[in-house]
Structure 1
Amino acid sequence: MNQLNEHERIGAFIDGELDLSDQLEMERRYEAEPQLRQQVDEARALRESVKEASYHAAPDALRQRLLAQMGRAAAPAPAAAPAPRKAGRSLGEVLGEWFAWKPMASAFAVAGAAAFFVNMSASHSFAEQQLEDDVVASHVRSTLGQHLVDVSSSDHHQVKPFLSTRLGFSPPVSELQLTGSEFLGGRVDYLDGRPVAALVYKQGPHVVNSFIWPTKAADGKPAFSQEKGFRTAHWSYGGMAHWVISDVNAEEFQTVVQAIQRGDEQR
């Protein structure tokens, strides 16, 4: 494989665009090849620095004002460019001609602002889709291999200290108070270039991975979706981001997510 193709493959790996078998092969190479690991980590760090740029949704009042200004700016015919200054004309006359361009300037400014908001929104959605792809790949990798947990214990008093000493944060850890649920333990995993806590449960015959890491996002309700045959839910609470994934049915998955939320709220 030539260098150009290798770069393309690394980019597709980071973006979650490889098929499952290739994604798992790249995961294996990532663990075994220091040079590849450095290239991937540097690319992920660059993407993370771009993603973490400040993003704020535009208030409704601002959006309405921008739309109104666009409507007003589009109505008049474009003013002619100001004529060259002639001898004997006052400065006030020249400035008046330049101010005649104000509607067009406003239109350009409004269009630029609108494009900025649209691009930021699209970028946010794309980043979330990439993160969901990472969650699915990590879940599949853990269930197909022999590395479900780093610490095998049904006691959260053993799992929490183990993870806390290996991560830069202390994740909430709890057993699920559900019929047919079993807490298997936890492991350190990586999502989107950052170390995260992975709590592993079994709900009947199904494996449930619950990924946790610090976030500055405000508390919110779970958002549910499906990706490649798996159900996912993600939300933020108490300064922690949560992503849960499994292949249980929809009703049971909601019950599992609610149980994880209850355990988090009671910690």
Structure 2
Amino acid sequence: MTCDDIRALLAARADGELGAADSLRMEAHLGTCAACTDIATRHDAVVRALRQGLRAPALYMKAPVGLSERVMHAVQVEAQAKTGVRHEAPVARARAPRRGGSAWQRLAGWLITPTRGLGLAAGTLAAVALGVGVLVGRPDTVALTAHDITASHVRALLGARETDVLSSDRHTVKPWFNGRIDYAPPVTDLATRGFPLIGGRLDYVDGRPVAVLVYRSAQHPVDLYVRPEGGADTEPALRTERGYQLMVWRSAGMGYWAITDASADVVQAFARAVRGG
């Protein structure tokens, strides 16, 4: 197990998701590599800080007094509008609903009324998120997919299942996918460009099967994940995920994700070869 492998598996180790074999190999490496031990220690400290921060009492808030009565009243008002049956107002301690708008709009107004407790909770959560580098907001789907593909690539290398079909002939690799996935991935012979085809395999990314074409550059494997993707064509963009280099682009309705543990110039040259540049 290399140092790059260790760094790629730190998150799985922190979440208790490593298998017994990988755990033993990782602990054996950490016992002999001071650099990886230091990285693992700092990573564990960040994870512990995040978990402790998320358990902070300030993140939890009791429901305001009278909330249940206001919710029930809003439901009753909505039922009244449909049946014409009048319902009594909620108990006096509950705040009367604001005039105007539907019952559900008034309910939404009650539920989002700022409170001191809610403001404190939000502030604490934001501080924890910023402290550990977590981005709160709209998920970055490209980053999530890059994470999944990197994990898939590492699993293939560590599990000795680099290929399901072993062949340098694209006329053998391409038909192998027939009936296993619902699309036909383009398979190109790139041996003359320095990237011989090794074979292919089937893997899962974002919860669905995806074709993986396996190439090689010297001693470095280069995996090309190909799947249908909507949207306009895009130029290749370089990403780095846990020490691995990825090139991502979209062409003719297909998304391409090339990943390797080699240097960035290798994966960039590979992307140019696939695109015929």
- 8 Å CA contact 1:178, 1:259 repeated in 2: no
- 8 Å CA contact 2:258, 2:267 repeated in 1: no
Do residues 250 (structure 1) and 275 (structure 2) align? no
Residue 222 of structure 1 aligns to a residue whose secondary structure is: strand
Whole-Å separation in 1 of the counterparts to 2:242 and 2:268: 18
Give the aligned CA root-mean-square deviation in angstroms: 2.9
Whole-Å separation in 1 of the counterparts to 2:212 and 2:194: 20
Alignment of 1:13-92 (within 5 A): 18-19=12-13, 22-25=16-19
Cα distance, 1:175 vs. partner?
1.6
Number of the residue aligned with 1:208: 222
Number of the residue aligned with 1:164: 178
Residue 231 of structure 1 aligns to a residue whose secondary structure is: strand
Whole-Å separation in 1 of the counterparts to 2:269 and 2:14: 28
| Match of residue 132, structure 1, among 120, 137, 146 | 146
Aligned positions, number:
156
Cα distance, 1:164 vs. partner?
2.5
Whole-Å separation in 2 of the counterparts to 1:231 and 1:129: 13
TM-score, normalisation: structure 1: 0.53
1:50-98 superposed Cα distances (whole Å, 9 cap, x missing partner):
xxxxxxxxxxxxxxxxxxxxxxxxxxxxxxxxxxxxxxxxxxxxxxxxx
- 8 Å CA contact 1:164, 1:171 repeated in 2: no
* Runs of 4+ with >6 A deviation: none
Identify unmatched segments of 5+ residues in structure 2: 1-9, 23-135
Residue 275 of structure 2 aligns to a residue whose secondary structure is: helix
Residue 251 of structure 1 aligns to a residue whose secondary structure is: helix
Identify unmatched segments of 5+ residues in structure 1: 1-15, 29-120
Name the CA shift for 1:256/1:160 in 2 (closer, same or farther; >3 Å). same
Question: Which has the larger helix fraction?
Answer: 1
Seq. identity, %: 37
- 8 Å CA contact 2:215, 2:221 repeated in 1: yes
- 8 Å CA contact 2:193, 2:273 repeated in 1: no
- 8 Å CA contact 1:177, 1:259 repeated in 2: no
- 8 Å CA contact 2:191, 2:197 repeated in 1: no
1:227-248 superposed Cα distances (whole Å, 9 cap, x missing partner):
1110011111011111110011
Number of the residue aligned with 2:66: none
